[in-house]
Amino acid sequence: MPHPDTTVDAFVKVAHQRYGDLAETFLKVYPAESNAQAGDSQNDSARDQLRTSMYLWTLNRAKTAKSKVWTYYWDHTLPGPDAERYGAFHTSEVPYVFDSLAKSDRPFTETDRKIADMMSTYWANFAATGDPNGKGLPHWSAVSEAPGMTMELGDTNKPISIAGNGAKEAFFTEFLSKPRAAQRQ
């Protein structure tokens, strides 16, 4: 979600409160030299933290799992009057996964229908075989097959880094690996 009201001072203050002794490292990889840049860094850091935390969870799960894990980052905005405000939000992929666009009065396009076909095929493949991949689909690597990567799905269908770059991934890996009490020092 955009944060147009984010200021440099507020962003820096929250960074110090949230990241403690790692705040200066955080501010190097998510700079805030202007209010606009602070807003961008707010959005980028929130996205990168969520993707890195999910990735670290999957690595931990893999230690005892008997099956592979696939992660994804959804980037397609549901069409409609609120599209610009909400963008590609959590659960906005659900109508595409279940190929249920016809159940809604949103102004879906041929592109939406193609995305729904792809997404529902991935999910059907996964339900049937335990692997989302199949004929005619962009290859989606399991986490164990592509360390540090996730699959971007929707408008773009390709593997991407779990964070904006290696320094950002390293920051969140270090921060999220600390015991909870140590995160707030």
Which one has a higher pLDDT value, 61 or 185? 61
Same domain, yes or no: 152 and 170: no
How many folded domains does the chain comprise? 2
Same domain, yes or no: 81 and 122: yes
Same domain, yes or no: 116 and 178: no
The pLDDT tens digits of the residues spanning 152-184 come to 999 999 999 999 899 999 999 999 998 865 555
Confidence of residue 120 (pLDDT cuts 50, 70, 90): very high
Q: Is residue 35 part of a domain?
A: yes
Q: Is residue 115 part of a domain?
A: yes
Same domain, yes or no: 89 and 32: no
- What DSSP string runs through 52-90? HHHHHHHHHHHTT-SS----EEE-PPPPSTTHHHH-S-T
Q: Which range marks the domain in which residue 40 is found?
A: 8-64+165-183
**Residue 85, pLDDT score:** 85
Same domain, yes or no: 50 and 30: yes
Q: Is residue 1 part of a domain?
A: no
Q: Is residue 3 part of a domain?
A: no
Q: Is residue 31 part of a domain?
A: yes
The pLDDT tens digits of the residues spanning 62-99 come to 889 889 999 999 999 999 999 988 889 889 999 999 99
Same domain, yes or no: 29 and 102: no
Q: Is residue 2 part of a domain?
A: no
Same domain, yes or no: 151 and 82: yes
- Segment 101-124 shows an average pLDDT of 97
The model's pTM is: 0.84
Is a pLDDT exceeding 60 seen at residue 2? no
Same domain, yes or no: 15 and 93: no
> Which long-range contacts link 84-89 to residues 24+ away (Cβ below 8 Å)?
86/1, 87/1, 88/154, 89/1
Q: At what angle do helices 166-177 and 35-62 cross, to 10 degrees?
A: 60
Q: Is residue 148 part of a domain?
A: yes
Is a pLDDT exceeding 90 seen at residue 50? yes
**Residue 164, pLDDT score:** 85
**Residue 150, pLDDT score:** 94
Same domain, yes or no: 153 and 169: no
